């Protein structure tokens, strides 16, 4: 396999996934638009399955509130005060390691 094919296999899925998530958010059909703000129910917060997480950092890059930080695959931290429960981190995760659960 030549270098060009390797780059296509490695880079393009992440680029398309990022564009899909960004476009869904911009068009108003992302998970942030599905949740009604100021409801009486508890907010949904990200929960990570550390066996699936590879520490890629896409969730950190996509988070609009900068509430997520990942140092390694097993060091995921979330600031509950900053989190707006938009779900973009779960949508952008290539390994489906992040799920949103009620507190």
pLDDT tens-digit map of 12-69: 666 677 777 777 767 666 554 555 555 555 678 888 888 888 888 888 888 888 888 8
The upper half-sphere exposure of residue 71, i.e. CA atoms within 13 Å in the direction of its Cβ, equals 2
Q: Around Cβ 53, how many Cβ atoms within 10 Å?
A: 20
Closest Cα partner for 52 from 10, 102, 94, 15? Answer: 94
Q: Do the beta carbons of residue 46 and residue 92 sit within 8 Å? A: no
pLDDT tens-digit map of 73-92: 567 788 888 888 888 888 88
Q: Where are the beta strands (DSSP E) in the chain?
A: 44-48, 68-70, 76-78, 98-102
User: Residue ranges of the domains in the chain?
Assistant: 3-102
Q: Which fold has domain 3-102?
A: Alpha-Beta Plaits (3.30.70)
Q: Do the beta carbons of residue 72 and residue 64 sit within 8 Å? A: no
Closest Cα partner for 30 from 102, 89, 76, 80? Answer: 89
Predicted TM-score of the model (pTM):
0.58
């Amino acid at each position: 396999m030549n270098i060009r094919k390797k780059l296509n296999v490695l880079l393009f899925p992440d680029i398309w996934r990022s564009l899909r998530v960004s476009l869904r958010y911009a068009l108003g059909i992302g998970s942030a638009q599905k949740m009604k703000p100021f409801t009486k129910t508890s907010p949904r917060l990200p929960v990570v399955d550390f066996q699936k997480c590879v520490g890629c950092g896409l969730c950190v890059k996509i988070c609009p509130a900068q509430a997520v930080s990942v140092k390694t695959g097993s060091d995921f931290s979330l600031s509950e005060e900053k989190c707006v429960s938009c779900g973009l981190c779960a949508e952008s995760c290539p390994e489906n390691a992040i799920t949103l659960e009620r507190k």
